[in-house]
Amino acid sequence: MPKVESSVLMRAPLDDVWALAQDVEKLPNIMPDLDAVNIIEREAVNADTTRVVSEWHARIKQMNRKISWTEEDIWNSRDHSCHFWQMRGDFDEYKGEYSFASEGEHTRATLKMEYQFNVPLIGAMMKKVIQKLMQDNCTTMLSSLRDEAERRAAAR
């Protein structure tokens, strides 16, 4: 299964970045190709862990295509990580992990994704194009979080 990964250093405190990342319903306000995120379920599993089921709607503008999926996220505040996977949707498979770590006054955010996205009638030739789109998406997600976290930190 193809994999992509991106990492970014943010000039913002870990607690602020962590709170921003978990506010998934507001992500369409800062991410350009994300149309909507709707929370279906949210529950505290224990003192450190929250389970969230959400429905995502996005665009792949380069392919003039809309995609949707429902994912389950397990947010762990003890190690500042989120494991996620598609429950149903347009990906054949989709899963990954966010991790957040303090580096002094900054925060390092890393996103790793594994996916399988087969588009009928375009075949293997497009796999490299889809790989690049997924890598770009991974980078854009973290860059968008960084820009918003740094904007908020500067406004204090």
Given a contact cutoff of 8 angstroms between Cβ atoms, the answer to whether 136 and 125 are in contact is no
**pTM of this structure:** 0.92
Least Cα distance to 8 among 107, 94, 122, 152 occurs for 107
Half-sphere CA count of 60, side-chain side, radius 13 A: 17
Tell me phi and psi for residue 17, to 5 degrees: -65, -40
pLDDT 10s digits, 38-84: 999 999 999 999 999 999 999 988 878 899 999 999 999 999 999 99
What's the pLDDT at 10? 98
User: Does residue 119 register a pLDDT over 80?
Assistant: no
What's the pLDDT at 112? 98
- Domains and their CATH numbers in the chain: 3-154 (3.30.530.20)
Average pLDDT over residues 115-135: 80
Residue with the larger pLDDT of the pair 126 and 135: 135
**Residues in Cβ contact with 154 at an 8 Å cutoff, skipping those fewer than 6 apart:** none
CA 10 to mean position of chain CA atoms: 16
User: Structure tokens of 143?
Assistant: 């860059």
What's the pLDDT at 121? 61
